[in-house]
A and B are shown apart, each in its own frame.
Chain A
Amino acid sequence: MEKRTRADTFVEEISASPGGEGICLCIQCGTCTASCPNADRMDHTPSQLIAMARAGMKEEVLSSNAMWHCLSCYLCTVRCPRGIKQTDLMHALECLAIREGLSSGRTRTPAMYRSFNDFVYSLGSLPEFGFMTWFYMLTNPLRAFRMIPVALSLLRHGRLSIKARRLTPEGTSQLKAILDKAESLGGAS
């Protein structure tokens, strides 16, 4: 029987997500890292993450702050000589990190994404003001205070709606039915 290593299973998990399958094709050329506007803010660069994942370093990879600093700018994706969808790979790692309860505590991005999604799930639209206030109060009320000038200038220029756009009641329940079904089906892989 073929012997399976820890690395095999982690790579398989990643490969099962759409876009994650490219991880096997990487030649470690470093183009993605050289292109990434945020690589210097990541504890492991995009190409390092791939090397670490292939070495089976699951915990180190999933607790990294790297994917949470990804901006989804897709520069790595258009430049990769192996056609790897590096941005999707970052998303796949974010999903896995959440699923395994390992997402980095050194960045507020997971909490921000969570608040955003909660609003969209319950309303079907994103009320920017409510979402931002909620997120700041949740993570750092002091920052909410510092953001008041920005909020005021948006308000003064008529750009902060307190009211959220609502779907029709039928649309709302249809969307809920779809999202709840998706939830019951597990992840995208």
Chain B
Amino acid sequence: MRYYTYFPGCSSSEGGAKAYGWSTQAVSKVLDIELIELDDWNCCGSTPYSSIEELASFCLSARNLALAEKRGLDLVTPCSSCYVILNRTNSHLKEYPQLKAKVDEALAAGGLEYHGTVRVRHLLDVFVNDIGYDEIRAKVKINLGGLKVAPYYGCQMVRPRPSFDHPENPQSLDKLIAGLGGEPVPFPLKSRCCGGSLIISEEALALELIRKIFDSALSNGAECLVTPCPLCQTNLDAYQSRVNHKFKANFNLPVLFFTQLMGVAFGLSDEDLGLKTCIVPTERVLAKYL
């Protein structure tokens, strides 16, 4: 059994990506991973805080990191935005002593201190590097039999810091899909942006980026997409009808969390994986495996 401190992030805990949280826990269990949720964690602040209230944004992360430090385990999150924001705080606190002094002072007001020792990991990193592709393959009960999957990494899991995968042409999801018996299709836009939170303030701009992603996936024969990011999943899934409406298109591409796809291959039930929360129905492509 491996133990980690778990930081679900707002979206995957009680927000729109609940199913990501459920499937994360279900799949982790199969892989003998215990994710222990960080007590009383707060929102990482995501892009909005880091954009307009920098110091407060570092403090939001620093509180979480300080709480996690007491446990001494790696801090794992399934959310790419939490991942980039928490890591950014870690590296900025090391690089900018003046910033660190201010953050320390703010933390002290809450009776906390942070020494910079917490390693922040993305769930996908833990799966493919701590557990490994072979062990994952060994748990497959239902081979995905050549299901054509577009691995959509998005931006913030692979950039900006050199992490566990290439910043522009990542491979980990491709290999994972292949391990489940699926066929990762070539996907040039695999690490391009889905529009992020600008889907709310500048919808037209984001819908155009999403359309390009669908075009790229579909022209390479994808039957569905998988992603390791709650925001990407929501943009691609919930706004697919808006894309169709705007561009007079008829995309009908299920968008799954990578943990849901793993769960299907592990033979887990629909309820464990929350497939019904996907807005574009998944039955058409998954029925034969369930």
Mark A residues whose CB is within 8 Å of B.
Answer: 17-19, 37-38, 41, 69, 71-75, 77-78, 85, 87, 90-92, 94-95, 98, 107-114, 116-117, 120-121, 123-128, 132, 135, 139, 143, 149-150, 153-154, 157-161, 163-165, 167-168, 170-171, 174-175, 177-183, 185-189
Contacts and interface: CB of A to CB of B under 8 A. Distances in A.
Contacts of A117: 45, 48-49, 52-53, 56
Given A110-B52, A188-B102, A72 B155 contact: yes
B240 to A, nearest CB: 10
B279 A153 contact: yes
8 contacts: A72-B47, A78-B159, A85-B160, A111-B201, A112-B201, A113-B49, A174-B112, A189-B98
B50 interface: yes
Interface residues of B, number: 71
B42 A125 contact: yes
* Chain A contact residues: helix, strand, loop or mixed: helix
6 closest Cβ pairs, A-B complex: A74-B159, A181-B109, A188-B54, A171-B40, A113-B48, A73-B193
B108, B192, B201: residue with the most chain A Cβ atoms closer than 10 Å? B201
A169 to B, nearest CB: 10
B110 A175 contact: yes
A126 B43 contact: yes
Interface stretch (B9-17, B115-123, B131-139, B172-180): B9-17
B290 interface: no
Nearest to A36: B193
Given A124-B43, A183-B56, A91 B279 contact: no
B51 interface: yes
Given A18-B96, A91-B54, A174 B111 contact: yes
B10 A112 contact: no
Contacts of A116: 46, 48-49, 197
A136 to B, nearest CB: 8
Nearest to A170: B40
A103 to B, nearest CB: 9
Contacts of A92: 54
Contact of A167 (B40, B193, B239): B40
A73 B99 contact: no
B33 interface: no
Contacts of A181: 59, 105-106, 108-110
A69 B202 CA distance: 8
Contact of A159 (B18, B52, B96): B18
A135 B200 contact: yes
Interface string B153-180: 0011001100000011000000000000
